Amino acid sequence: MFKTSSQLRAELETAQSQIASLEEESVEQVAQIESLTSELAAARESLASVSEELTQAQSDLEAAHAQVADLEASLAEQTAATEQAVESAGAIAAAEIAAAGHPPIDIEAAEATDADTIRKQFASLPAGEERSKFYQKHRGVLGL
């Protein structure tokens, strides 16, 4: 039941070999852990950088939205002022024309009369180059 010294030596050598193998594995695992830790730190830094960029981009977007809103408000004000100026200018022009003794002109009726005149002129032209040129010039009115 007792082991011989050669058996004990063999067991000791086996145990020492296993210990050496485990030490090598643990060194490899420590190196792998250190590498992964380094990669994790780099990924965290990258994530922090991207997060800062995203925050800045959101801030820039909010500022751009505010600027667009300001520009739209300014445009609405300018449009209203322009429309008011056009109405005022039209009223002033109508008053000056009336003061000169001329009757007001119904622009829509005048345009309709012009369209009728253009259609009649077109219909009276003989087929050919002159009629084609007339059509090209007045095609918006003729709409044929």
Query: In this predicted structure, what is the pLDDT of residue 91?
Result: 79
The reply to whether 81 and 48 lie within a common domain is: yes
DSSP 67-134: HHHHHHHHHHHHHHHHHHHHHHHHHHHHHHHHHTTPPP--HHHHHHHHHHHHHHHHHHSPSSHHHHHH
Look at the chain and report how many structural domains it folds into. 2
Please check whether residues 84 and 125 belong to one and the same domain.
no
- Same domain, yes or no: 61 and 130: no
54 and 20 in a common domain: yes
State the pLDDT at residue 143.
74
User: Are both 21 and 59 inside the same structural domain?
Assistant: yes
pLDDT at 34: 95
Same domain, 83 and 137: no
My answer on whether 99 and 120 are in the same domain is no
| Same domain (yes/no): 14, 26 | yes
Q: What is the CA radius of gyration of the chain?
A: 47
Residue range of the domain that includes 69? 5-104
pLDDT of the residue at 110: 60
Domain identity same for 97 and 110: no
User: In the chain, which stretches have pLDDT less than 70?
Assistant: 106-113, 144
| pLDDT attached to residue 111 | 60
Same domain, 36 and 76: yes
